[in-house]
Structure 1
């Protein structure tokens, strides 16, 4: 495979991973906007499951050498920070 084809595949893989991350980010934003509602364990489970699934996608893309490890991990770190902020806000709202 030519380097142009590999670069194109790499860009496409990163784009798809980012699109999945954006969907999870939207779920986090919606929950942040609705902090007046009680803490919902089901919603937390959905977010955790979505992030776990994305981590598996990223792991596959890294192993297939479609994305660099640092790029994949940056996507996860951002989501995990936002999720931690959500849980912190929910905790403060509960008090």
Structure 2
């Protein structure tokens, strides 16, 4: 079972890496695109959809619990919302 735990830890680490890439992409887009721009929305939605599919796949493989998967996606959406608010204020 230790190998399974190591695998699950690796899964979480990789998801965190993917989330960081999404956040970096958002920061770069904020400097070049208006958040109301359809391209901005399409890029962000595509990234979130892709990540949600990965999370769903990992849940089906039982490498991630459904609760962990929902928590990851909810936390990312909250972070993105806060980022949007910060960008609007500045």
TM-score, with structure 1 as normaliser: 0.74
Q: CA RMSD in A?
A: 2.4
Q: Which residue is equivalent to 2:44?
A: 47
**Count of aligned residue pairs for this structure pair:** 89
**Alpha-carbon shift at residue 60 of structure 1 (Å):** 0.5
Matched, 1:75 2:72: yes
* Rounded Cα–Cα distance in structure 2 between residues aligned with 1:70 and 1:49: 23
Determine if contact 2:58/2:64 at 8 Å carries over to the other structure: yes
Q: Please list every run of at least 4 consecutive aligned residues from structure 1 whose deviation after the TM superposition is greater than 4 angstroms.
A: 86-93
User: Which of these two proteins has the greater Rg computed from alpha carbons?
Assistant: 1
Aligned-residue offset at 1:68: 1.8
- CA deviation profile, 1:17-58 (whole Å, cap 9, x unmatched): 1111111122233344x38x5342112101100000000000
- Find 2:4's aligned residue among 6, 14, 21: 6
Structure with the bigger RCO (C-alpha within 8 Å, sep 6+) is: 1
Are 1:38 and 2:34 matched, yes or no? yes
Q: 1:21 aligns with which of 16, 19, 24?
A: 19
User: Structure 2: which 5+ residue stretches go unaligned?
Assistant: none
Are residues 1:57 and 2:54 paired?
yes
Which stretch of structure 1 is more off in the superposition, 78-87 or 5-14?
78-87
Question: Aligned equivalents of 1:55 and 1:91: distance in 2?
Answer: 26
